[in-house]
Amino acid sequence: MKVANPKLTLCAFHLRNNLAQGEDEPVNNANHLWEECQRLGQKLHVPRLESLIERLQENNGQIGVSSNQDNSRYLELLQPENPLRFSAIPEGSKPQLQGEVYPLQIHDTYAVDLTLRYPYPNVDVHQLEGLNPQGCLLPNQIKASLGQTLVLFAQPEGQIQDIQEFANGCLAAILPKSEVAQFLRSPPTQGIFLGSPIFEYDNNREHPAEHCHILVWLNCNPDTEKLEAAGDYDQSLINLLCCRHKILYAYSESRWCNQQARLFYRKLEVKAKAFRQLPSEPTPKLKQLKEWLTEIPTLAFEYANYLRDIDIHRTTIQTNLINYKFWLKQLQDISIQNRDNLDFLEQLIKDTQDNFIPQINADLSYLMPSQQLFGQMIEASRGIVETEQAESDRALQNTVAIVGVGLATAAVGATVAPYIIPTEPRQPILPPFSTNHLHPLTQSLLLSLVFGVGGAVVTKGVIALIQNRGVIAGHITKLIRGNRNKTVQLSGNTQQTLPQSKKQNQ
């Protein structure tokens, strides 16, 4: 079988800006898409593609504009030659490639519309593999951060008995043999666009680097070629695909954030269980709590960060769903009325409304309450540490006060000893119990000790009395407040019953 005028178009999307780095500063790998185009130029022997970045920077030394500017909604990056047409250098007996590249900026996203075609009127179906040599246009090669779509447009020649089988054959021709089976596990969705059948293939992978979305559009109507050549649908289609891949990318990121949040949830849950089983001894309890006060806030912060990201991804999905519906309406307005059928493009709307957004809502409903629990656990730990530390400090202060007073009174005892103990002639110091009369020095030491112990005991008693009075005063205050509250309630009840008594008197 042969096809006429086949062309394969790569529509790839890569993030230029994000919230973290702001709208003016591009992300670190913002130029990745243009670098991949240059590598394609080297691989396909297309000199004009090899210098694409220089051409994009010709005007002002940078690529694109700030995403908060109005013209960033749909900005053609190559001026004045847009698209940039090219021809590959012939290589042996391989069919020569021609095409064009159309670089864009759509708000915060770089987009490229890269088309490869043969300059021959028709080729065999198996030669379509030359439009994607060694799978160079597949996601695992391009690695666009938001994802990509391949669109094959070709006109079948001769009688086609089974149009879907023919589309499957075209798909198999542009893919490596190892990739074909995953697209044919289930029948493709089918529609009609500009009067001709279009088939949608998807490998249903979640990650953008693995997700491959392919449209095979077969030119089976004379009107299709004219309308396709006019290109009125181009802007609406690439905007639609951009919204599609942003939705799928945001959902993929929300799944990853949900997994990470659950990991932190499990870590924090272990701490929460251990919190209920704290040791009763003050020293090990304080040590454990102080360790947690350095660990748990960090874990809780990361947990909250993932919850915030999930919420941002939900907002991204909701916003791009609105835009997707708008651009789908534009395509439907462009299409041939009463002949075209773009219902297959509405499947993403259904998936988003019925699956993606409800799933994210369910994730947040499970994860959000735990955020408050962990915050309360941090506050409780901090309160216990402060209380235990205050008790420890108070005990130390009391000990210091008792010892200080004891030493002071002992010094007083040593000072007054000469006035209390009779003065005797100097006597030698004898061994203990060798005489029934205490040496004056021993009497002075004992007197000083009595003064010191007495002062310490009195001080301890005074401190205990002061603390007990504080506790009693607290209890009295609570009782007074309770009585006041009861009085207020009684007076309120009296006021409420007065109208009833008046009615009875009347």
The secondary structure of 166-210, three-state, reads: HHHHHHHHHCCHHHHHHHCCCCCEEEEECCEEEEEEECCCCCCCC
Q: Are 455 and 405 in contact (CB under 8 A)?
A: yes
Residue 265 has pLDDT above 90, yes or no: no
Q: Are residues 226 and 270 in the same domain?
A: no
- pLDDT for 445 equals 65
How far is residue 82's CA from residue 103's CA, in Å, rounded to a whole number? 8
In this structure, what DSSP letter does residue 220 have? -
Spatial CA neighbour of 106 closest among 210, 237, 231, 206 = 237
Q: How confident is the model at residue 196 (pLDDT cuts 50, 70, 90)?
A: very high
Which residue did the predictor score with more confidence, 183 or 294? Answer: 183
- Mean pLDDT throughout 469-481? 56
Q: Are residues 106 and 68 in the same domain?
A: yes
- pLDDT for 90 equals 84
Which residue did the predictor score with more confidence, 225 or 269? Answer: 225
Q: Which of 71-85, 255-269, 286-300 has the lowest mean pLDDT?
A: 286-300
Residue 78 lies in a domain: yes
> Over the stretch 302-316, which tens digit does the pLDDT of each residue have?
888 999 999 999 999
Which residue did the predictor score with more confidence, 165 or 405? Answer: 165
Q: Which residue range forms the structural domain that includes residue 328?
A: 248-392
The total of other beta-carbon atoms located within 10 Å of residue 101's CB is: 25
- Mean pLDDT throughout 362-372? 84
How far is residue 82's CA from residue 235's CA, in Å, rounded to a whole number? 14
- Mean pLDDT throughout 441-453? 62
Residue 241 lies in a domain: no
Domain count of the fold of the chain = 3
First to last CA, the chain: 107
Q: Are 41 and 88 in contact (CB under 8 A)?
A: no
- pLDDT for 491 equals 45
- pLDDT for 443 equals 59
Q: How confident is the model at residue 72 (pLDDT cuts 50, 70, 90)?
A: confident
Q: How confident is the model at residue 500 (pLDDT cuts 50, 70, 90)?
A: very low
Residue 213, C-beta contacts closer than 8 angstroms, at least 6 positions apart: 147, 148, 149, 150, 200, 201, 202, 244, 245
Q: Give percent of the chain with pLDDT exceeding 90.
A: 45
Q: Which of 308-317, 370-379, 453-462: highest mean pLDDT?
A: 308-317
- pLDDT for 501 equals 41
Residue 123 lies in a domain: yes
Residue 468 has pLDDT above 70, yes or no: no
Q: Are 238 and 217 in contact (CB under 8 A)?
A: no
- pLDDT for 392 equals 58
- Mean pLDDT throughout 268-281? 73
Residue 343 lies in a domain: yes
Q: Are residues 32 and 162 in the same domain?
A: yes
Q: Are residues 372 and 268 in the same domain?
A: yes
- pLDDT for 467 equals 60
The mean predicted confidence, pLDDT, of the chain is: 81
Spatial CA neighbour of 27 closest among 148, 109, 140, 143 = 109
Q: Are residues 381 and 399 in the same domain?
A: no
- pLDDT for 505 equals 40
Q: Are residues 191 and 338 in the same domain?
A: no
199: region left, alpha or beta (phi > 0 left; psi from -120 to 50 alpha):
beta
In this structure, what DSSP letter does residue 230 have? H
Q: Is the peptide bond before 80 cis (omega within 30 degrees of 0)?
A: yes
How far is residue 366's CA from residue 259's CA, in Å, rounded to a whole number? 13
Q: Which of 83-92, 96-105, 190-199, 352-361 has the lowest mean pLDDT?
A: 83-92
Q: Are residues 128 and 112 in the same domain?
A: yes
Residue 86 has pLDDT above 60, yes or no: yes
- pLDDT for 137 equals 95
Q: Which of 2-16, 203-217, 407-421, 471-485 has the lowest mean pLDDT?
A: 471-485
Residue 475 has pLDDT above 70, yes or no: no
How many alpha carbons fall within 13 Å on the CB side of residue 50?
Answer: 10
Residue 239 lies in a domain: no
Q: Are residues 183 and 127 in the same domain?
A: yes
Q: Which of 239-248, 328-337, 416-425 has the lowest mean pLDDT?
A: 416-425
Helices (H), 45-176: 47-50, 52-56, 139-142, 163-174
Domain boundary among 332, 367, 392: 392
How many alpha carbons fall within 13 Å on the CB side of residue 400?
Answer: 6
Q: Which of 13-27, 102-116, 447-461 has the lowest mean pLDDT?
A: 447-461
Q: How confident is the model at residue 359 (pLDDT cuts 50, 70, 90)?
A: very high
- Sequence-separated contacts (24+) of 198-204 with Cβ below 8 Å: 198/344, 199/164, 199/167, 199/171, 200/344, 201/171, 203/179
Q: Are residues 419 and 445 in the same domain?
A: yes
Q: Are residues 72 and 111 in the same domain?
A: yes
Residue 496 lies in a domain: no
Residue 84 lies in a domain: yes
In this structure, what DSSP letter does residue 129 have? G
Place of tokens 């220089």: 54
Residue 504 has pLDDT above 70, yes or no: no
Which residue did the predictor score with more confidence, 52 or 298? Answer: 52
Q: Is the peptide bond before 83 cis (omega within 30 degrees of 0)?
A: yes
Q: Are 3 and 154 in contact (CB under 8 A)?
A: yes
Torsion from C-alpha of 501, 503, 504, 506, nearest 10 degrees: 130
Q: Are 16 and 27 in contact (CB under 8 A)?
A: yes
What 3-state DSSP class applies to 37? Answer: helix
Residue 492 lies in a domain: no
Residue 502 has pLDDT above 50, yes or no: no
Q: How confident is the model at residue 135 (pLDDT cuts 50, 70, 90)?
A: very high
- pLDDT for 390 equals 55
Q: Are residues 367 and 403 in the same domain?
A: no
From residue 484, alpha-carbon distances to 18, 470, 490, 493, 494 in Å are 59, 21, 10, 14, 15
Domain boundary among 231, 259, 287: 231
- pLDDT for 360 equals 96
> Over the stretch 171-185, which tens digit does the pLDDT of each residue have?
999 999 988 999 998
Place of tokens 């392919």: 214
Q: Are residues 388 and 402 in the same domain?
A: no
Q: Which of 217-231, 273-287, 331-345 has the lowest mean pLDDT?
A: 273-287
Q: Are 299 and 267 in contact (CB under 8 A)?
A: yes
